[in-house]
Structure 1
Amino acid sequence: MTVHAPKLLTPEEFASLIEVAITSPTPKIPAPHLAKLITLGYVTETAKGLVVTGDGLIRITESE
């Protein structure tokens, strides 16, 4: 499935991505942020909880 959405995140959404990476599987982030991160393919839900995907990790490292 191809998602045609901008890859840009607000600073708050980016902080939520970091939060998932640090506190998986149960981060405390706003539902709209989670929905956008999943739609963009940066985060996925697994049986063990939320996990940052390879694309999400790349997005994090691009910002350093």
Structure 2
Amino acid sequence: MTVHTPKLLTPEEFASLIEVAISSPDAHIPDPHLAKLVTLGYVAVTAKGPIVTGDGLIRITESE
């Protein structure tokens, strides 16, 4: 079961999540943001670069 925690991201971290969604795999976001997004399961780092996961997409749509 996936537990969504929408309040765990600062506005800047959320902006980084959106940046990955829009610019992947060429997103350039701060390393601390990337580490947190990966830890929360919103982003996965692949050989081609960071990509938004299904949970990350859900997190983005939850805040609309």
What is the 5 A alignment of 1:1-64? 7=5, 8-64=8-64
AA of the residue aligned to 2:42: Y
TM-score, structure 1 normalization: 0.86
CA deviation map 1:6-53 (0-9, x unaligned)? 931000000000000000002111110000000000000112211100
Alignment length, in residue pairs? 59
Identical positions, percent: 80
1:58 is displaced (CA, Å) by: 0.1
TM-score, structure 2 normalization: 0.86
Distance 1:52 1:38 in 2: 9
AA of the residue aligned to 2:13: E
SS of the residue aligned with 2:25? coil
Distance 1:32 1:47 in 2: 19
Distance 1:42 1:11 in 2: 15
